Amino acid sequence: MILLISVQQADMNSPVDDRFGRSTWFLRVNSDTLDWQALENPGSNNRGGAGVAAAQFAVDQKVEAVISGDFGPNAAAALQTAGIQMIQFPSGGLTGNAVVQLFRQGALAAK
């Protein structure tokens, strides 16, 4: 499955970012092969509509699920319309790599 994870830095060992729309970076990860790439969130500095811009970016990246700490209502509506799963990670200082491992173990539930 192709995942998009909100993180603070461009690295798998980066702490996750609780904010989907305002996250500076995303990790695009293939959960089967563990191939990944860091992508800058093009909407993170928008004055308004950052969540919708991030959701459109997820659509453009052809991801199947987005993993973040929180989704605003507009982002959630856009992701739902696009058929992209929203998964929330638990709080507690996780890294992108740890989130992928939790996902692979089935320990994260869709919102």
Token pair, residue 83, equals 């058929």
| Total-model pTM | 0.93
Tens place of pLDDT for every residue, the chain, 111 residues?
999 999 999 999 999 999 999 999 999 999 999 999 999 999 887 778 889 999 999 999 999 999 999 899 999 999 999 999 999 988 778 999 999 999 999 999 787
Structural domain boundaries in the chain: 2-104
Nearest CA-CA partner of 85 in 44, 57, 55: 55
d(CA 57, CA 108): 22
Q: Please give the CATH architecture assigned to the domain spanning 2-104.
A: 2-Layer Sandwich (3.30)
Residues 6+ apart with CB under 8 A from 11: 38, 96
d(CA 47, CA 109): 31
